[in-house]
Chain A
Amino acid sequence: MSDQQTNGQALIHARGLVKHYEDGRVVALDGLDLDIAAGEFVAICGPSGCGKSTLLHMISGIDRPDRGQLMVAGRDLATMSGGETDHYRATVIGLVFQLHNLLVNLTALENVQVPMLTTGIRPRERVERARDLLDRVGLLHRENALPPTLSGGERQRVAIARALANDPRILLADEPTGALDSKNGERLFELLVELQRNADMTLVIVTHDQHLADQAQRVVHMLDGRAIPEPDATTR
C-alpha cells in the first residue's frame, strides 16, 4: 500500500481545490483542503449546494478542478491522460449515485458486469465474479431481474455490486440512501459499512442523514465549497 503513496501522504490528498461553473457565477468548490487515509470510512455532510457532489466528481476523475492539487494514490489527477483517467475510473474508483445508477435494459447481473468490459477479464469469469458480488449484496436471487422490476433499495444494492466490479480501492457514494425510506436506507448503509470492513477499502459517503453519518469513522462537514476544519480529525 505504501508503495502507492508518497511519503506517508494520504490516499486522497486535496489542496485548494477550486471549481467554478457558468463562467464563475457559480462557485462549487472554493479552496477545499481534504486528506483521507487509506482504509478510512468518511462521511461528508453539508447543506445542499455546498459542493459535496462536485468533490466526489473530482475524486472520481469524471470532472477536473479549475485550480488546486488533487492526488489520489500518489498520482496527480491533473497529469493523467484521457485513457489513464478512464482506466483510473474503471479500476481505482467505485461510484454509487443517488439515482439512475443502472442501465434499464440490462439485467442486474449484466449491470454489474458493465465496468468489467473495460478490463479484459474473460466472459466466464465476469459472470462468476458478478454473481459473487450480487451474492455479497444479498441479491443473487434477483440476478435476471431488470431494474424497473427491482425496488429502490435493491437497485442501490446492484449499484454497489457494480461499483465493486473491478475491486476498487476507493468507493465513493453520493447520497446512496437519499431516495430510500429510513429503514431501507439504514440497511444499505450497514451493507456499505460491512463491505468496507471486509474489503479493506476506503469509503467516502455523502449523506444528509446525521444518524448515518455518525456511524462513520470521521465526518467531514462542508460549507460553501470548503471543508470545515475539525479539531480531532482522526477520532474513531
Chain B
Amino acid sequence: MLTNAGALTLLGMTRRNLFRQRVRTLLTVMGVSLGVVAIVAFHTLMRGVWESVEIAISTGGADLMVFKSGVAADLFSILDEQKTRDLLEADEHVAETSACLFHILPIAGQPFTLLFGLHADEFVVRDSIPVSGRRIEGPDEIMLGVIAAKLMEKKAGDTLIIAGQTFTVAGVFETEVVFYNGGILMDLERMQQLIDRQGLVTAFLVKLKEGADRDAAVVSIEERDPDVVAVTGAADYNKVDRGLDMGNDMVWLVSIMAILIGSIIVMNTMWMSVFERTREIGLLRAVGWSSYRVTAMVLIEATFVGIMACIVGSILGAGLAELTTVLPVSQQFNSPVYDLPPFLLALAVAVTLSLLGAALPAWRATRISPVEALRYE
C-alpha cells in the first residue's frame, strides 16, 4: 500500500470533491438519511408487529386461531362460545381448543390495556408457567403480563381495580408477544360478565391432532361454518385484520416518499456540484477523459453520499425504534425486530435514490464541451 502513496484514483478524486464542500455534503447526507431513518424505524417496528402476530397465533402451542369472518379488525370478532366450540370439536383435525375474549380498557392509568379472558382449565392457561406467583384459580384473580406489572407497579398478592371491580393479582406471566406482556389475563366467564359479553368470545386458539395437516384443517373448519375464518400466521392474518396490510402499505408509502425526497436532495446537490465544476469537467474532457468516466465520477460521488446517509440513517432509525420501547404507551405494544432486511433495504434505497438523483446531473456533466468550459477565462 505504501508504494501506492500519492497515486490518484477515481475514488480518491470523488472523496476529495465531496470533502471540498463538506458542509453541503453533510447537509445532503442528513437530508437523505431522514428518509433512511423513516424506512428503518417503520420497517423495524412493522417487523416487530408481524413477528408478534406470528407468535400470538401459536400461543400455548396452538396451530391456528379461529375468528369471526368479515371483520375489519381482530378485536371486532365476536363468536358464540358454545356453538363455535362444538363446531371445532366436531372437526376431525382438532385436538383441543382454548377460547379467548379480548378487550381494551384503561386500567391503572394505562389508557390502552389489553384485557384477555381465558378458561383456567384450557390449554393456554393450564400449560403456562408464571414467572412469579401462580396461575389464576378463581373468578376474582388475575395475572399480569411482565410489562403491565412493571408499569402498574403490581406483584402477586396485590389488588387491582378493573372497571370498578377489585381483583387480586395471582401471578405474573411472560410471553414472547409484547402486547400480551403489556396486558392482563382474567377468568373468561368473569370477563364476559364484566364487559357484558355473556356467552361470547373473540377467538379460539386451536391445537391440531398429531400429524394433522394445517392447511387441510383451515379448509375443513371454514367449510363447516362460513361465518368463521382460521388463520395460521401473519401472512393470512388479513382475513381478520387489515391493520398489518395497512401498516405495510404505510411503510411502503413512507419509503417511496423518502426515496423521492432523497433523490431530489441529491439531484439538487449534484446539479450544483456539476455546475460549479464546469471548467474542471471541461478540462478533464480536454485531457482525454471519456464522458463515461465523467459520468462515473458523478455517480460515485452520489453513491458515497448514499452510503454515508445509510449509515447515519440506520443508527438514527434504530434509535427511534428503540425509543418506542421506552415510552410507556408504545412500550405495551411494540418490540422492534432488528434483523438485516430493513438495513439492507435502507442501503439499497439510499444508493438507488442517490444514483437516481445523480442521473440528471451526470448527464449534464457529459454535455459540458471542453471548448465552452475553457473559454470562461
* Bitwise interface map of A from 109 to 145 toward B, beta carbon under 8 Å scored 1, else 0: 1100111111000011011001100000000000110
Docked-complex contact A115 and B288, CB < 8 angstroms = yes
Min CB–CB distance B370 → chain A (angstroms): 4
Query: Could you pull out 9 A-B pairs where Cβ atoms are within 8 angstroms?
Result: A62-B286, A82-B290, A86-B285, A89-B288, A113-B8, A114-B8, A118-B288, A130-B6, A162-B287
Interface-forming stretch among B24-32, B276-284, B301-309? B276-284
* Complex interface residues of chain A between 61 and 120 (CB less than 8 A to chain B): 62-63, 82-83, 86-91, 93, 95, 97-101, 103-107, 109-110, 113-118
Distance in angstroms between the alpha carbons of A114 and B3 in the assembled complex: 18
B286: A residues at CB distance < 8 A: 60, 62, 89, 95
- Given the interface pairs A95-B287, A105-B16, A118-B288, the reply to whether A123 lies near B4 with Cβ below 8 Å is yes
Given contacts A91-B288, A114-B287, 12 further A-B contacts (CB under 8 A): A63-B371, A82-B290, A86-B290, A88-B288, A99-B377, A103-B283, A105-B20, A114-B8, A115-B287, A124-B4, A127-B3, A127-B4
In the bound assembly, the distance between CA atoms of A62 and B291 in angstroms comes to 13
B289 within 8 A of A: yes
Asked if A166 is an interface residue, CB under 8 A from chain B, the answer is yes
Chain B residue numbers with a CB within 8 Å of A89 are 285-288
In angstroms, Cα B13 to Cα A104, docked, is 11
Q: In the complex, which range does the number of interface residues on chain B fall in?
A: 20 to 34
Min CB distance A142 to B, Å, is 13
Within the complex, the shortest CB–CB distance from B293 to chain A, in Å, comes to 7
With A and B bound together, what is the CA distance between A101 and B284 in angstroms?
10
Residues on the A chain within 8 Å of B369, using CB: 62-63
Q: Across the interface, do A106 and B16 meet the contact criterion of CB distance under 8 Å?
A: yes
- B107 CB to closest chain A CB (Å) equals 64
Most central of B3, B290, B293 by chain A CB within 10 Å = B290
Count contacts between A and B, CB distance < 8 Å. Answer: 96
- A-contacting residues, B338-377, CB 8 Å: 369-371, 374, 377
* B17 at the A interface (CB under 8 A): yes
Which residue in chain B gives the minimum CB-CB distance to A162? B287
On whether the beta carbons of B288 and A90 are closer than 8 Å, the reply is yes
With a CB–CB cut-off of 8 A, which chain B residues contact A115? 287-288
Q: Is there a chain B Cβ closer than 8 Å to A221's Cβ?
A: no
A107 to B16, CA, bound (A): 11
Q: Is B5 part of the contact surface with A, judged by Cβ < 8 Å?
A: yes
Q: Mark B249-286, 1 if CB is under 8 A from A, else 0.
A: 00000000000000000000000000000011001111
Is A57 at the interface (CB under 8 A from chain B)?
yes
Contact with A along B26-51 (1 / 0, CB 8 A): 00000000000000000000000000
Enumerate B291-345 residues with CB–CB distance to A below 8 Å: 291, 293
Chain B positions near chain A (C-beta within 8 angstroms): 3-10, 12-13, 16-17, 19-20, 279-280, 283-291, 293, 369-371, 374, 377
Q: Which of A83, A95, A97 contacts B290 (CB 8 A)?
A: A83
Q: Are A106 and B288 in contact (CB under 8 A)?
A: no
Residues of the B chain whose Cβ atoms lie less than 8 Å from the Cβ of A110: 6, 8, 12
A100-B279, A105-B17 as given contacts; A118 in contact with B8, CB under 8 Å: no
Q: Say yes or no: A123-B17 contact (C-beta < 8 A), given A83-B290, A86-B288, A90-B288.
A: no
A113–B9 Cα distance when bound, in Å, is 9
Whether the pair A100, B283 counts as a contact (CB closer than 8 A) is yes
Cβ A114 vs Cβ B285 within 8 A: no
Residues of B within 8 A of A116 (CB): 8
Residue in chain A with minimal CB distance to B10: A117
Which residue of chain A lies nearest to B288 when distances are taken between CB atoms in the complex?
A: A90
Distance, CA A166 to CA B289, complexed state (A): 13
Bound together, the chains give a CA A101 to CA B286 distance in angstroms of 10
Q: Which of A127-178 contact B (CB under 8 A)?
A: 127, 130-131, 143-144, 162-163, 165-166
- Our pick among B284, B290, B374 for the contact of A100 (Cβ within 8 Å) is B374
Contact between B6 and A62 (Cβ–Cβ < 8 Å)?
Answer: no
Bound form: Cα–Cα A172–B377 in Å: 18
Question: Are A113 and B371 neighbours in the complex by a CB distance under 8 Å?
Answer: no
Indicate which residue in A83, A98, A103, A163 contacts B377 across the interface (CB closer than 8 Å): A98
Closest A residue, CB atoms, query B7: A123
Q: Check if A101 sits within 8 Å of B283, measured CB to CB.
A: yes
Determine whether the beta carbon of A97 is less than 8 Å from that of B374: yes
Taken together as a complex, chains A and B put the C-alpha atoms of A176 and B285 apart, in Å, by 19
CB distance from A30 to the nearest CB of B (A): 18
**B370 A143 Cβ-Cβ under 8 A:** no
> Is the beta-carbon distance between B289 and A62 smaller than 8 angstroms?
no
Q: CB < 8 Å: which of B3, B7, B374 contacts A113?
A: B7
Chain A residues whose C-beta falls within 8 Å of the C-beta of B285 in the assembled complex:
62, 86, 89
**A82 to nearest B CB, angstroms?**
7
Chain A to chain B: the 6 pairs with minimum beta-carbon distance, closest first: A90-B288, A123-B7, A113-B8, A89-B288, A62-B370, A110-B8
A130 to B287, CA, bound (A): 15
Chain B residues with Cβ below 8 Å from A162 are: 287
